Amino acid sequence: MQSEIVFSPRHFMNKTVLLFAGQGAQAVGMGRDLAGQYPAAQALFDRANAVLGYDLASVCFQGPEAELTKTENAQPGIYLVSWVAFQLLRERLPNLAFQAAAGLSLGEFTALAAAGAMSFEDGLKVVRQRGRFMQEACEVTRGSMAAIIGLDVEPTRQVCAEAGVELANLNCPGQLVISGETDKIDQACERAKARGAKRALPLTVAGAYHSRLMASAQPKLRAVLDTISLQAPAVPVVANVTAQPHGTAADLKNRLVEQVTSAVRWEESMRYLLAQGFRRFIELGPGTTLTGFMKRIDKAVQVLNVADTVSLETTVKALLA
């Protein structure tokens, strides 16, 4: 069911969308310089450690990489670093307003927390559990993913149908991700190349995210979401599943559960926001993946990011200019 929220495009001309990083953006050292430079950032890392009952900060700062890459650490780690980036930007620019938000897969939880739909602590606990449930699903299935570069959506859908896999991410023009059983992903890659894909690259991931192979995580995630307080977000947050804004708290929960096995409609989500007149996008969290996607979707808009102290300073200067 789609949301009833409607924008006036003119009203939001040149207003701001916050974008939050998804899994895969993790890198050993993420957040370390922010914690070293800003006491407010260190306080948030300490708070997260207390909430979770283990030293997530040191996993983010020091790794090892194999530990950080585990889904149950990567998801809360990226959520936390993204939240720190968001809070530091607000601390530096107390008058900065944002009128919409979106996040890639895991990042949708950070976007919802930023928009007041759930508390920071609840979001952190949920994504830790979500990561664990998805890891458990990976362990009982033999799945993988692949990036399909330079092939349009419809031919890629046909390849997926023929090979028995699923379209998992529609990121930006020329970059799609497929997901499914490992042997079928290999077949799909060959078919995609035969159809004209420039490249079909297997991804280093633990399993087949955003496919039916993740179904066992859904009831567990719903049970955890049932234990936290959810409310409609204060600003529109575009859902990955529908590429439309979330509606009521009940709808929101359903969309987050569906998201585990559904395609991430990122390009459509961004085009929806562009159609509403949004022209400034700020990516928060490790890496610049979403910045790269937006440059492929629309080169004319302003795209900024906050991942570390250097990018924080650059973004603050740009916003003050």
Q: Mind telling me the catalytic residues?
A: 105, 210
Q: Is 221 helix (H, G, I), strand (E, B) or coil?
A: helix
Terminus-to-terminus CA distance in the chain, angstroms? 41
Tell me how far CA of residue 155 lies from CA of 19, 192, 195, 209, in angstroms.
Answer: 29, 8, 7, 21
Q: Which of 42, 72, 71 is nearest to 58 (CA)?
A: 42
**What string of DSSP letters covers 3-55?**
------TTTTTT-EEEEE--TT---TTTTHHHHHH-HHHHHHHHHHHHHHTS-
Structure tokens at 209: 């995210």
**Cis preceding-peptide flag for 64 (omega within 30 of 0):** yes
Between CA 17 and CA 237 the distance in angstroms is: 9
Structure tokens at 256: 């987050």
Between CA 128 and CA 133 the distance in angstroms is: 9
The region that residue 308 occupies, defined by phi over 0 for left and psi between -120 and 50 for alpha, beta otherwise, is: beta
Residues in the chain: 321
Between CA 156 and CA 30 the distance in angstroms is: 34
